[in-house]
């Protein structure tokens, strides 16, 4: 046979074969169980900015290997694909190129779809959906209206993150280190009326339901979510305010420090500060407020930031000791956390301490640590109470509980739980998104667009795409904006915001089984058959964004009676990033590796193998350290091996050393695939290739054991290098397609190793007995014996002078003791 492996020649042929046979179609999208295990495998849906890139290649090489493996193991697999096709980059590209965002988006989708096919990704294309299709976003609008009916979508004025470059608001999740996640512009705060989903209503359930995910999601993602939700147990304490009927309520996690509260601080931008401010303090308050207006929440909470603030000219009374303490306004207190007001305990809280220093305020220590802390360092831990009236000498933890009980009895406070999680700000002042299905009527107020008028489609023309200072491009589409009020028929106007694209991606996986469904957002039969997702694969960067939104949406839909489960993703795998020379790939660094170029050079199989073989799925891949050329070599070896076997085997299969080795490698590979240790699994396949090659070179090409091994190798290879596997299968004289032949079963009798009991002596005395493989080598056995815990203990400091090994039965260690 021709000895040159060509990694390109085989592509079209096999794509046609798979298409014709419907090789990757799940048994039924919305029908009943066909008795096989079901496995719904989804990679986070791609965003169509240009062609697929190296990051896509990585995640789909990994997810496709998993999907193909499950399919070979006999599962009914749904490997779904769609596009997250709304969003800002399309608009920016459109502005730059003078194209419609739709044109740019749908062209890119076609390019990506073709690239997926050329990579041999085993999608069931019947799931294909695009979130920018009116048939899809209609259901965003429908879901929005259902959430609104249940009080889970609302509009309010809020200080929001604003990116002046992208001219839009951003969710907290999209602000990284105080900057816009997309363009790096420093984010400022602006007061705007915006739409929110009430994610906070689900804070506790988002936490509690993590119990279901424990051990199935990566621990660090769960930790990040836990942090993001930020549950704090503490208390509300009410302070009376002189000259004001309403008490001032604070949230504190340290009621035990109440006797040390020497002043109070209200968030400068809170309604309460506004309300408290005495007339003679108004001017300085307003001036201060203006001076700090642009700081983001992250800056505001930073401990290393100089503290500033102004007095509000008002005094409060500490409920436990009747002390009169001043009230300040500052930006280190956040308006929308807790109550927006704090009791400051400068002896035990660093930020309060810094503020006290700046403004020359008194500090009173009330907790003494059990052991003297570091001098000059503020003590923020537990201890014994002092200067705390009747609580002096009490343990701080117990005193905290007692103080809350005392306050509660007096009607001045209560234990409470606070969450860091904020409601999800979902409105965007951009064009390429789902229009919010609300009409604003001067007579009726906010009026929902009736279901039968959905979808509210984006205007075709008559608008200005370029955003202008907080005004949505949709607001310029005057003919589109003007509508009759659905309630009273009078003149009204459409809401001109669009939805965050994370709304689109919070539920798309529910629609995959039946993307053409028209009676609701998703087909209940498809849900029953496939959901929740068995294997979800995507990047870590979605830990507190997309993954949180999808979990929230699932719970909300469950509560609306639309879903029978509360968690969307049973198992989660995070893939790492593809980097170059240790740095993230980017145009500006000039270190972008072009995927198509790599595929052009090495073929899709080699690129896929390289992606998976580079390391554990969750690790980053440094493309500078790997070489698809190595993968091409290995694939060529497999291909040649297949061609080097004679058309028929000679004789019957019998137990042989070779077959033992082959079956053990198959068993190991299976275990590794089950544990998702895909890179190590590939290493076993490489070993198997070497074992078989050696046998062929030793003249055993006609041995039926070699043929069996080669077939097993090629069947397993189809998970990672599907084109080469099909081609090799054909060279083995088999009929297409290799993927119909399933995953090989290792014969347990061949895998089992005979074992022996090895006696380990030290200076002739029995110290340990080891169960070892009967065929263990002297060297391995010596290492095992010297590593035995009992031996190590017995030998101690003594010097080993000699080791006598009689594998597999005896090891005698000779030592001299000093």
Binding site for ligand ANZ (CB under 6 A): 232, 251-254, 257, 267, 333-334, 337-338, 340, 342-343, 345, 348-349, 380, 418
Least spacing, CB of residue 439 vs Zn ion, in Å = 8
Question: Among ligand ANZ, Zn ion, none, what binds residue 251 when CB lies within 5 to 8 Å by partner kind?
Answer: ligand ANZ
Q: Compare residues 142 and 379 and give the one whose CB is closer to ligand ANZ.
A: 379
As beta bridge partners, residue 414 has 236
Could you tell me the smallest distance in angstroms from the CB atom of residue 313 to ligand ANZ?
21
Binds 232: which of ligand ANZ, Zn ion, none (CB < 5-8 Å by kind): ligand ANZ
Q: Which does 656 bind (CB under 5 to 8 A by kind): Zn ion, ligand ANZ, none?
A: none
- Provide the token pair at 550: 């999808």
Least distance (Å) between residue 317 CB and ligand ANZ? 17
Nearest-approach distance from CB 99 to ligand ANZ, in angstroms: 46
Q: Which two tokens stand for residue 349?
A: 């809280």
Choose among ligand ANZ, Zn ion, none what residue 502 binds, the Cβ cut-off being 5 to 8 Å by kind.
none
Query: Cα dihedral sign for 366, 370, 371, 373?
Result: negative
Size of the site for Zn ion (CB under 5 A): 6
CA angle 483/484/487 to nearest 5° reads 130
Q: How far is the CB of 321 from ligand ANZ (least distance, A)?
A: 15
Which phi and psi (to 5°) does residue 700 adopt?
-100, 25
| Contact yes or no for 544/588 (Cβ under 8 A) | no
Nearer to ligand ANZ, 340 or 467 (CB): 340
Within 561-600, the residues that bind Zn ion by CB under 5 A are none
Burial class of residue 428 (count of CB atoms within 10 Å of its CB; 0-12, 13-18, 19+): buried
The verdict on 188 binding Zn ion (CB under 5 A) reads no
Tell me whether residue 254 or residue 542 sits nearer to ligand ANZ (CB atom): 254
- Write down the least CB distance from residue 153 to Zn ion, Å: 20
CA distance 234 to 254: 7
Between 160 and 438, CB nearer to Zn ion: 438
Beta carbon nearer to Zn ion, 102 or 440: 440
For residues 254 and 230, is the Cβ–Cβ distance under 8 A? no
C-beta closer to Zn ion: residue 444 or 649: 444
Min CB(146)–Zn ion separation in Å: 22
CB of 195 to Zn ion, least distance (A): 19
Alpha-carbon distance of 377 to 391, in angstroms, equals 24
94: Cβ–Cβ under 8 A, 6 or more apart, which residues? 100, 101, 103, 104, 432, 465
Tokens of 462: 């008559």
Question: Around Cβ 23, how many Cβ atoms within 10 Å?
Answer: 17
Q: Which is nearer to ligand ANZ, 76 or 297 (CB)?
A: 297
The residue (of 413 and 448) whose beta carbon lies closer to Zn ion is 448
Residue 496 site contact among ligand ANZ, Zn ion, none (CB < 5 to 8 Å, cut-off depends on kind): none
Quote the least distance from Cβ 462 to Zn ion, whole Å: 24
Q: Please list the residues that pair with 759 across neighbouring strands.
A: 769, 810
Interaction partner, residue 333 (ligand ANZ, Zn ion, none; CB < 5-8 Å by kind): ligand ANZ
Of positions 267, 356, 441, 550, contacts Zn ion by CB under 5 A? 441
Smallest separation, CB 270 to ligand ANZ (Å): 8
Site for Zn ion in 473-512 (CB under 5 A): 485, 487-488
Which one, 258 or 447, has the nearer CB to Zn ion? 447
The set of residues, in sequence order, having a beta carbon less than 8 Å from that of 273 and lying 6+ positions away, is 266, 267, 285, 312, 329, 340
The sign of the torsion formed by the CA atoms of 184, 186, 190, 195 equals positive
Q: Which is nearer to ligand ANZ, 385 or 537 (CB)?
A: 385
What's the min distance (Å) between Cβ of 346 and ligand ANZ? 9
- The token pair that represents 172 in the structure block: 């907290």
Helix axes 595-602, 628-644, angle to 10 degrees: 30
With binding defined as CB under 5 A, does residue 465 bind Zn ion? no
Report the relative pairing of strands 76-80 and 38-43 from DSSP bridges.
Answer: parallel
405 versus 786: smaller Cβ distance to ligand ANZ: 405
Q: Which is nearer to ligand ANZ, 272 or 641 (CB)?
A: 272
Angle at 103 between CA 102 and CA 108, to 5 degrees: 100
User: How many of the other CB atoms lie within 10 Å of CB of 362?
Assistant: 11
Count CA atoms within 13 Å of residue 282 on its CB side: 4
User: Which positions ≥6 away from 774 have C-beta within 8 Å?
Assistant: 753, 754, 755, 756, 808
Q: Which is nearer to Zn ion, 446 or 657 (CB)?
A: 446
Residue 370, C-beta contacts closer than 8 angstroms, at least 6 positions apart: 383, 384
In the complex, the smallest distance separating the C-beta of residue 195 from ligand ANZ, rounded to whole angstroms, is 24
x/- binding map, residues 420-439, to Zn ion, per CB under 5 A? --------------------
| Contacts with 456 (C-beta within 8 Å, 6 or more apart), sequence order | 141, 435, 437, 449, 494
Burial class (CB in 10 A: 0-12, 13-18, 19+), 405: middle
Least distance from ligand ANZ to the Cβ atom of residue 331, Å: 10
- In this structure, what token pair is assigned to residue 469? 């200072």
Q: Which does 343 bind (CB under 5 to 8 A by kind): Zn ion, ligand ANZ, none?
A: ligand ANZ
Pairing type for strands 578-580 and 621-622 reads: parallel
Which of the listed partners (Zn ion, ligand ANZ, none) does 814 bind, with a CB threshold of 5 to 8 Å by partner kind? none
Q: According to the binding rule CB under 5 A, does residue 444 interact with Zn ion?
A: yes
Q: Which does 349 bind (CB under 5 to 8 A by kind): ligand ANZ, Zn ion, none?
A: ligand ANZ
Q: List interacting residues with Zn ion (CB under 5 A).
A: 441, 443-444, 485, 487-488
């Amino acid at each position: 046979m021709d000895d040159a492996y060509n990694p390109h020649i085989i592509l079209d042929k096999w794509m046609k074969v798979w298409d014709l046979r419907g090789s990757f179609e799940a048994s039924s999208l919305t029908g009943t169980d066909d008795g096989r295990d079901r496995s719904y495998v989804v990679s986070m849906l791609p965003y169509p900015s240009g062609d697929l890139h190296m990051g896509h290649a990585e995640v789909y090489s990994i997810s496709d290997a998993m999907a193909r493996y499950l399919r070979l193991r006999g599962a009914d697999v749904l490997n779904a694909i769609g596009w997250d096709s709304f969003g800002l980059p399309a608009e920016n590209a459109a502005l730059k190129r003078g194209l419609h965002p739709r044109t740019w988006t749908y062209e890119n989708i076609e390019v990506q779809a073709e690239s997926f096919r050329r990579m041999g990704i085993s999608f069931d294309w019947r799931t294909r959906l695009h979130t920018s299709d009116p048939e899809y976003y209609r259901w965003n609008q429908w879901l929005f209206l259902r959430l609104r009916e249940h009080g889970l979508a609302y509009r309010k004025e809020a200080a929001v993150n604003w990116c002046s470059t992208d001219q839009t608001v951003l969710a907290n999740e999209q602000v990284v280190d105080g900057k816009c996640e997309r363009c790096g512009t420093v984010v400022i705060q602006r007061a705007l009326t915006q739409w929110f989903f009430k994610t906070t209503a689900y804070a506790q359930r988002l936490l509690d339901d993590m119990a279901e995910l424990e051990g199935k999601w990566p621990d660090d993602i769960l930790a990040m979510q836990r942090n993001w939700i930020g549950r704090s147990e503490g208390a509300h304490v009410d302070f009376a305010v002189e000259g004001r009927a309403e008490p001032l309520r604070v949230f504190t996690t340290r009621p035990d420090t109440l006797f040390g509260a020497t002043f109070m601080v209200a968030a400068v931008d809170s309604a309460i500060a506004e309300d408290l401010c005495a007339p003679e303090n108004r001017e300085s308050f307003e001036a201060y407020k203006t001076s700090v207006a642009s700081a983001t929440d992250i800056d505001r909470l930073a401990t290393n930031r100089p503290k500033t603030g102004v007095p509000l000219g008002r005094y409060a009374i500490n409920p436990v000791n009747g002390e009169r303490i001043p009230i300040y306004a500052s930006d280190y207190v956040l308006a929308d956390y807790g109550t927006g007001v704090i009791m400051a305990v400068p002896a035990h809280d660093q930020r309060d301490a810094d503020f006290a220093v700046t403004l020359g305020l008194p500090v009173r220590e009330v907790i003494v640590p059990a052991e003297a802390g570091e001098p000059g360092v503020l003590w923020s831990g537990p201890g014994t109470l002092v200067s705390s009236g009747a609580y002096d000498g009490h343990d701080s933890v117990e005193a905290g509980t007692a103080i809350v009980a005392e306050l509660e009895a007096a009607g001045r406070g209560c234990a409470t739980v606070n969450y860091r999680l904020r409601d999800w700000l979902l409105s965007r002042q951009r064009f390429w998104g789902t229009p919010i299905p609300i009409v604003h009527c001067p007579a009726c107020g906010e009026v929902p667009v009736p279901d039968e008028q959905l979808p509210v489609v984006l205007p075709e023309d008559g608008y200005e795409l370029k955003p202008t200072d907080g005004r949505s491009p949709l607001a310029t589409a005057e003919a589109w904006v003007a509508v009759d009020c659905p309630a009273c028929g009078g003149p009204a106007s459409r809401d001109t915001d669009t939805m965050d694209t994370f709304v689109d991606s919070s539920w798309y996986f529910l629609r995959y089984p039946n993307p053409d469904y028209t009676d609701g957002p998703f087909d209940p039969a498809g849900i029953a058959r496939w959901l929740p997702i068995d294997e979800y694969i995507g990047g870590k960067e979605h830990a507190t964004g997309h993954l949180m939104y999808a979990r929230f949406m699932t719970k909300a839909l469950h509560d609306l009676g639309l879903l029978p489960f509360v968690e969307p993703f049973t198992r989660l795998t995070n893939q790492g990033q593809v980097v170059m020379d240790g740095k993230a790939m980017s145009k500006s660094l000039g270190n972008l590796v072009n995927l198509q170029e790599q595929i052009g050079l090495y073929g899709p199989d080699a690129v896929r193998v390289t992606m998976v073989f580079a390391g554990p799925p969750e690790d980053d891949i440094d493309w500078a350290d790997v070489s698809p050329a190595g993968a091409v070599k290995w694939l060529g070896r497999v291909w040649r091996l297949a061609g080097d076997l004679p058309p028929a085997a000679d004789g019957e299969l019998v137990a042989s050393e070779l077959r033992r080795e082959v079956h053990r490698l198959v068993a190991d590979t299976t275990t590794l695939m089950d544990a998702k240790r895909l890179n190590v699994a590939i290493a076993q396949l490489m070993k198997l290739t070497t074992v078989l090659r050696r046998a062929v070179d030793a003249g055993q090409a006609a041995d039926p054991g070699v043929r069996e091994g080669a077939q097993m190798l090629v069947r397993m290879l189809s998970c990672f290098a599907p084109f080469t596997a099909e081609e090799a299968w054909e060279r083995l004289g088999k009929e297409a397609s290799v993927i119909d032949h399933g995953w090989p079963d290792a014969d347990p009798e061949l895998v089992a190793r005979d074992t022996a009991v090895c006696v380990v002596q030290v200076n002739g005395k029995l110290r340990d007995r080891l169960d070892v493989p009967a065929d263990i080598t002297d060297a391995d056995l010596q290492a095992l014996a010297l590593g035995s815990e009992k031996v190590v203990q017995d030998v101690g400091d003594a010097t080993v002078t000699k080791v006598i090994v009689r594998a597999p039965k005896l090891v005698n260690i000779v030592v001299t003791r000093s």
